Amino acid sequence: MAIRSLLIANRGEIAVRIVRAAQSLGIRAVQAHSAADAESLAVRMADDSVLIGPPPAAKSYLNIEAIIAAAKEKGVDAIHPGYGFLAENADFAQAVVDAGMIFVGPDAAAIRLLGDKVAARKVAKEAGVPTVPGSDGRVADMDEARALVEEIGFPVMIKAAAGGGGRGIRIVDSFAEFEKQFPQAASEAAAAFGDGGLYIEKVITKARHVEVQILGDGTDVIHCFERECSLQRRRQKVWEEAPAFGLSPDIREKLTASAVALGKQVGYKGAGTVEYLYDGDTHDFYFIEVNTRIQVEHPVTEMITGIDLVAEMIQIAGGAPLSIRQEDVAIHGHAIECRINAEDPAANFMPNPGTVDRLVVPAAEGTRFDTMLYEGYTVPPFYDSLLGKMIVHAPDRASAIARMGEALSKLEIGGIKTTVPLHAALAQNADVRAGRFDTKWLEPWLAGNPLRPETTKAEHAL
Ligand code: ADP
Ligand code: ADP
Ligand code: MG
């Protein structure tokens, strides 16, 4: 069934992005919103909107009953979950289908299987994809865990099977530490994710985070190459690129083929991301997880391939086959995305909601700003602090970094503190420019207080 109307069950910049994609396809966009988001850009842009509850996400964007009721009231054909919130909730995907509508994403069974990070490791192994050395399944108790750790050696990570968003991960490097952390991790995971299941992975030191975008229509699965997301703070991505730099054609072929194999193993439908850790010295890569949804950093892939991933996932959900063949997907140039948050990077990333009294967005060649902001908008304090993403595209990596520096210097967001100065400093940094970083580079660099007013000047002079 072709989709004629779509409810967007999300907020912020991704809601704006989905409204835009729906409208470009001639689909009526209905924005679901909490009471705090009545004045949001997505609500203003959408063809219609519907209130789903009070500000706290638990009562609105995470409220399955309220969202289904709103969708029925508006008579929409389909629901797009965006990322975060209910995007990887199998019960929600099922509830949408049970209510006679289309869920824009994989079916509930695939979400359940791949969303469980332990079950996903098993699927990866079955598809011949290398995984990080670690437990075969959930570790039942301390005895089992101890035996495994003796085998793989410290440091290890204790990870929550249901974790996500950089949460539910602990590094331990001794048995004493392990015995203390393991029970704590279990109770914390139970409280945070409603599932106390844990598994263990060896810590891959000096790893880069490289991930492959896949698209499936239930019959075929293709890849849209890879992204590099190693610049992370608290295991959350800060700056992303496509393609990953320095991959040989042979490694790129192996990496992307493994992601496609994994997708085919489950008959994947929709847009998904297979995440890996990549050792730039040995060229080994290890599967870590699958995200069964659109990702924050999807625009860098769109820029280098020319594919509209959000439109594609909506059309697939409506029953259309993939509109692109694998041989037609190619890498053109280099793209970078900087996540711009309402946080003060000079004050330990303190959240900084408030009213945007001035907004100037550069309109330049190869420059795209995906945002929820408009001049006069008040950023509510209830949700995560992502305001938008500056995305640039250029013929090569060096010119993309230069273009990013230029775009950030022309971007003006007045009235609130944002992470723009952090990104401006990164764009000037010699290690970033040379691609000399891994997932552990950013935090120690930040600990050196690079954004203190006096050093900021010196950095810029370099
Ligand atoms: P991406 O690669 O798209 O950035 P993230 O893991 O950073 O993926 O998650 C995207 C969004 O979803 C973020 O806002 C993150 O906080 C949220 N998120 C992801 N998984 C969970 C989870 N299990 N619980 C709560 N929030 C999550
Ligand atoms: P989430 O579900 O929260 O996104 P991931 O398993 O994708 O969790 O891991 C998030 C980040 O944590 C990775 O990008 C990487 O920086 C780090 N990480 C995860 N597993 C390992 C590992 N085994 N060794 C080293 N770093 C890891
Ligand atoms: Mg991840």
Render pLDDT for 113-162 as a digit per residue (tens, 0 to 9): 999 999 999 999 999 999 999 999 999 888 898 899 999 999 999 999 99
- CATH number for the domain spanning 195: value is 3.30.1490.20
Residues 217, 198 share a domain = no
Same domain, yes or no, for 185 and 84? no
Neighbours of ion ligand 3 (CB under 5 A): 275
Query: What's the confidence (pLDDT) of residue 452?
Result: 75
Residue 100 lies in a domain: yes
Question: Is the residue at 155 inside a domain?
Answer: yes
How many domains does the chain divide into? Answer: 3
CB 80 within 8 A of CB 18: yes
Q: Which residues of 186-206 are buried (b: 16+ CB within 10 A; e: fewer)?
A: bebbeebbeebbbbbbbbbee
The atom number, within ligand 1, closest to the CA of 163 reads 23
Q: Decide if 110 is inside a domain.
A: no
Query: Given the CA of residue 168, which atom of ligand 2 is nearest to it?
Result: 3
Quick one: which of 123, 98, 66 has its CA closest to 272? 123
Distance 228 CA to ligand 2 centre (A): 13
Neighbours of 93 (CB within 10 A): 25
**Whether residue 457 has pLDDT greater than 50:** no
Closest approach atom of ligand 1 to CA 273: 2
Do 48 and 143 have their domain in common? Answer: no
CA distance 290 to 119: 11
pTM of the model: 0.96
Shortest-distance atom of ligand 1 to CA 293: 3
Tell me whether residue 123 is in a domain. Answer: no
**Which of 64, 88, 104 corresponds to the end of one domain?**
104
Band (pLDDT 50/70/90 cuts) for residue 454 is low
Classify residue 53: in a domain, yes or no.
yes
* pLDDT band at residue 92 using 50, 70 and 90 as cut-offs: very high
Q: Which domain holds residue 379?
A: 207-460
Q: Which residues are catalytic?
A: 293
Q: Model confidence over 348-370: pLDDT tens digits?
A: 999 999 999 999 999 999 999 99
Looking at all shown ligands, the one closest to residue 236's CA atom is 1
Cβ of residue 232 lying under 6 Å from some atom of ligand 2: yes
Final residue belonging to a domain, choices 202, 230, 251: 202
88 lines ligand 2 (CB under 6 A): no
- Is the minimum distance from the CB of 234 to ligand 1 under 6 angstroms? no
* Local confidence band at 461 (pLDDT 50, 70, 90 cut-offs): very low
381 and 322 within one domain: yes
**Is there a single domain that holds both residue 212 and residue 318?**
yes
Q: Write the CATH number for 248.
A: 3.30.470.20
| Same-domain status, 426 and 371 | yes
Which residue puts its alpha carbon closest to atom 10 of ligand 1?
84
Ligand 2 center–CA 43 separation, angstroms: 34
The ligand with the least distance to the CA atom of 157 is: 2
Q: Are residues 252 and 384 in the same domain?
A: yes
Give residue-wise pLDDT tens across range 12-53: 999 999 999 999 999 999 999 999 999 999 999 999 999 999
Q: From the CA of 273, how far away is ligand 3's center (Å)?
A: 9
Looking at residue 453, what is its pLDDT?
Answer: 63
Long-range pairs, 350-354, Cβ under 8 A, ≥24? 350/417, 351/381, 351/385, 352/385, 352/416, 352/417, 352/418, 353/378, 353/379, 353/380, 353/381, 353/385, 353/416, 354/378, 354/379, 354/415, 354/416
Average pLDDT over the chain, rounded to an integer: 95
Domain C-terminal end among 202, 224, 250: 202
In a domain, 115, yes or no: no
User: Burial level of 100, CB count in 10 A (0-12/13-18/19+)?
Assistant: exposed
How many CB atoms are closer than 10 A to CB 384?
15
- Ligand 3 centroid distance, CA of 166 (Å): 7
Give the integer Cα–Cα distance in Å for 121 and 200. Answer: 11
Q: Alpha-carbon torsion 14, 308, 218, 242, what sign?
A: negative
pLDDT-derived band at 462 (thresholds 50, 70, 90) equals very low
Sign for the CA dihedral angle at 349, 351, 357, 359 comes to positive
Q: Is the pLDDT of residue 256 over 70?
A: yes
359 inside domain: yes
Both 354 and 367 in a single domain?
Answer: yes
Q: Is 384 in the pocket of ligand 1 (CB under 6 A)?
A: yes
- What CATH number is associated with residue 27? 3.40.50.20
User: What is the arithmetic mean of pLDDT over 314-331?
Assistant: 98
Confidence of residue 223 (pLDDT cuts 50, 70, 90): very high
Query: Residues 295-307: pLDDT tens digits?
Result: 999 999 999 999 9
Asked whether residue 126 is domain-assigned, the answer is: no
State if residue 164 touches ligand 1 by the CB under 6 angstroms criterion: yes
Q: Distance, CA 335 to ligand 1 centroid (Å)?
A: 22
